[in-house]
Structure 1
Amino acid sequence: MSLILLLTGLYVWRQGGGLSAEQIPVLVVRDRSGQQADFKLEKLDAQHIGERLRPLIDADAILCTDSASVYAHFAKVEGITHRPINPSQNRRVDGAFHIQNVNAYDSRLKSWMIPFHGVATKYLTNYLGWRRLLERYKTQLNPLICLKEALGYRDMQQLTQT
């Protein structure tokens, strides 16, 4: 993924709602070019974050996150530059660094999931994939695209010089 990564952890309600123990952590990673990854985590801690992010992040990446200490710990262990933004102090932007892109996605994801009244934990990754599909294709989504994506085919246009 590109140099500046926007990272957030959010919680998704299990089916039926309930206590906070009924929430499942989801890690969302986006970069400024629109690339995205999301993961259902067992626990929102540096170990589980590291397991998911190590294959994605280059050593020269800059992590832009909220001020949760788990991200600072992960960045320190991995030797990655970390730019925390503290929204609780009305800080949404720090120069070129912000987490508005990933927070907007979180909001869209949570709003989209409301009609489902929570999801079964074993199907959460399927719902996340469905949402990624909706984000990627927006109004262009059709059954053929869904089938191609399910089979692992993606339409790619190669630019060539003539």
Structure 2
Amino acid sequence: MSELELPASIGPFRIVRRLGAGGMAETFEGMREGPGGFAQRVCVKRVLPTYEQNEELGKLFLREARLAAELSHRAITRIVELGEDGAGHYLAMELVDGPDLRTLLRRQPSGRLPRALAVLVAVEIASALEHAHARGIAHRDVSPANVLIGRDGDVKLTDFG
């Protein structure tokens, strides 16, 4: 599959669109459908094919899933499923419908958030980190790219790898 092609599915999730790609993984919007009109939108993360055979990266990917699954907090993306299909491991998590903080900052002419939003983001991320640290889990990469701002106003910390 070329980088421009979308997989039809990953595990039980029908792939809707590509959300992005990072250094070792790419993310997609996925949909799990079931009887009676059941539909669940998720973010599906998969290690890039060039790294799938790298044992060390595989361990990091599984570590991220394990750590994030231990956390239940309003400002941390919720893990839905960790699985494996013919192409390798995938991680399905709560889909946050909105930009990351890096994108949001770039859209601001001043490069700064309005004060009220900045305070909300700071409070929510501090609360998420406090929750994780109380369980002995360190994030290790808190950055604007790993803070998601939902269109509903929710602030979520993601990517506990």
TM-score by shorter chain over 0.5: no
User: Looking at CA atoms only, which structure, 1 or 2, has the larger radius of gyration?
Assistant: 1
TM-score (norm 1): 0.23
Higher relative contact order (CA 8 A, sep 6+): 1
Bigger share in strand: 2
TM-score (norm 2): 0.23
Bigger share in helix: 1
